[in-house]
Amino acid sequence: MIYLDYSATTPVDKLVLEDYIDFSRSNFANSNSLHKLGKEALIDLTNTTKNIKEKLNLLTHELIYTSGATEANNLALKGVAYKNRSKGNHIITSPFEHSSITTTLNYLAKQGFIIDVLDFDDYGRIDLEELDSLITDETILVSIGIVNSEVGLSQDLNAIRSVLNNYPNVLLHSDMTQAIGKIELDFSLADLISFSAHKLYGFKGIGGLFVRKGIKLTPIIHGGKSVSQYRGGTPPTNLIHSLGKTIEVALTDFEKKLNKIKELNLYLVSQLQRIDNIVVNSSQYSIDQIVNFSYLPLASNKLQKYLSDKNIYVSTTTACSSDKSISKVVKEITGSYEQATTSIRVSLSHLTTKDEIDLLTFALRGLNSENS
Ligand code: PMP
């Protein structure tokens, strides 16, 4: 099997898995229970939270655990929108957001919120002057994902923050699901930050929303006493514990892993550029982990199947988009319908080998000879 779909999800790291099993065996208590085992579970949870914040340099923020980034995005957008309804109803976003942002914003639009989608340059970088000009007294939130999951396009968080520094009442949310553990960045520049463990060699079903201290949200899940006033229910202590280990492992030898991925990226792109009929859709603003390309003679789903039949696993659009026949992001950025309907996402990891890339490019070259 050649797995090249690490942006859809990652295998659980061995250390994370072992730690999860050990913890689940030694402490299964409800952290809300008042007996000794319950208190120990609560202490572990508190320490885990502190360690995660320290590792990500986010001591300025509270961490609300969620089931993943979809829930974190829902809580961020609905939580801010409902809490600030009396202050304003205007939200600004980018055209390159994950479906969990766009569908939530569409839902809010039906409830009377006004959503503006920013324009962008030839590379897909959002128009910062337009961002500045769109902000009014009614604007309560700007939500811009720093790394898009389909082409890996990254936005300039520092520049976005600089614009928003002139508007202290406007909150900045960023979906960092494809950024945390993948790029070096001062995440604390955003007021609200969504992320998910399963993109980082952790478990599916756990993630979080960092919220700058002092910011209030309207909860979207109501319930009994829990870790956070924003999310009722018994805390998944073993998943939370494993999230701590996930972040720790992901950031170990971080530079080394990034350097390896950079090398693999350069190698893959140079190989793809030598194959007839292939256009690379990622640009210099894409993160090294994601290479999006189009093999023009074949629709994305057909190429995906051809590769899958050879046990090479890649994505067409994102695993989460409903219409997989066209990449809206590739269409927006390249303007080409042909590229958008033939686009393939390869996502790399420090676990990827050069041999795997060679087998992928060998299979792609094979297509040209089959078609000639
Ligand atoms: N945002 C982005 C940018 C993503 O790539 C994903 C996962 N595809 C999500 C949000 C949703 O994450 P989760 O699966 O944890 O709900």
Kindly report, residue by residue over 192-213, the tens digit of the pLDDT. Answer: 999 999 999 999 999 999 999 9
Taking the centre of ligand 1 as the mean of its atom positions, its distance from the CA of residue 347, in whole angstroms, is: 14
Kindly report, residue by residue over 318-351, the tens digit of the pLDDT. Answer: 555 555 678 999 999 999 999 999 999 999 999 9
In a domain, 184, yes or no: yes
Catalytic member of 117, 320, 351, 363 = 320
Helices 69-83 and 99-110, packing angle to 10 deg: 30
Q: Among the three residues 199, 226, 251, which one is the final residue of a domain in this structure?
A: 251
Q: Examine the domain organization and report whether 337 and 269 are in the same domain.
A: yes
319 CB within 6 A, ligand 1: yes
Task: Select from 96, 98, 183 the residue to mutate for testing ligand 1; criterion: most ligand atoms less than 8 Å from CB.
Answer: 98
Select from 220, 197, 285 the least CA-distant residue to 76: 220
Nearest-angstrom CA–CA distance, 292 and 283: 9
Kindly report, residue by residue over 54-107, the tens digit of the pLDDT. Answer: 999 999 999 999 999 999 999 999 999 999 999 999 999 999 999 999 999 999
**Overall number of domains in the chain:** 2
Helix (H, G, I), strand (E, B) or coil at 233: coil
Segment (H or E) for 195? strand 192-196
In a domain, 371, yes or no: no
Kindly report, residue by residue over 237-246, the tens digit of the pLDDT. Answer: 999 999 999 9
175 CB within 6 A, ligand 1: yes
In a domain, 369, yes or no: no
In a domain, 298, yes or no: yes
Q: Is 99 among the catalytic positions?
A: no
End-to-end Cα distance, the chain: 28
**Cβ atoms 53, 44 nearer than 8 A:** no
In a domain, 372, yes or no: no
Give the pLDDT of residue 230.
87
Torsion angle (degrees, nearest 10) of CA 23, 26, 29, 34: -120
> How high is the mean pLDDT of the chain?
95
In a domain, 368, yes or no: no
Taking the centre of ligand 1 as the mean of its atom positions, its distance from the CA of residue 69, in whole angstroms, is: 5
Q: Examine the domain organization and report whether 301 and 347 are in the same domain.
A: yes
Kindly report, residue by residue over 125-154, the tens digit of the pLDDT. Answer: 999 999 999 999 999 999 999 999 999 999
Nearest-angstrom CA–CA distance, 91 and 106: 11
Nearest-angstrom CA–CA distance, 153 and 351: 22
Taking the centre of ligand 1 as the mean of its atom positions, its distance from the CA of residue 70, in whole angstroms, is: 6
Residue nearest to atom 7 of ligand 1 (CA): 8
Q: Among the three residues 251, 283, 300, which one is the final residue of a domain in this structure?
A: 251
Please report, rounded to a whole number, the percentage of residues in the chain having pLDDT higher than 70.
97
177 CB within 6 A, ligand 1: yes
Give the pLDDT of residue 325.
75
Give the pLDDT of residue 369.
82
Q: Examine the domain organization and report whether 242 and 337 are in the same domain.
A: no
In a domain, 370, yes or no: no
Domain of residue 19, CATH code: 3.40.640.10
Give the pLDDT of residue 242.
98
Structural domain that includes position 330: 2-9+254-363
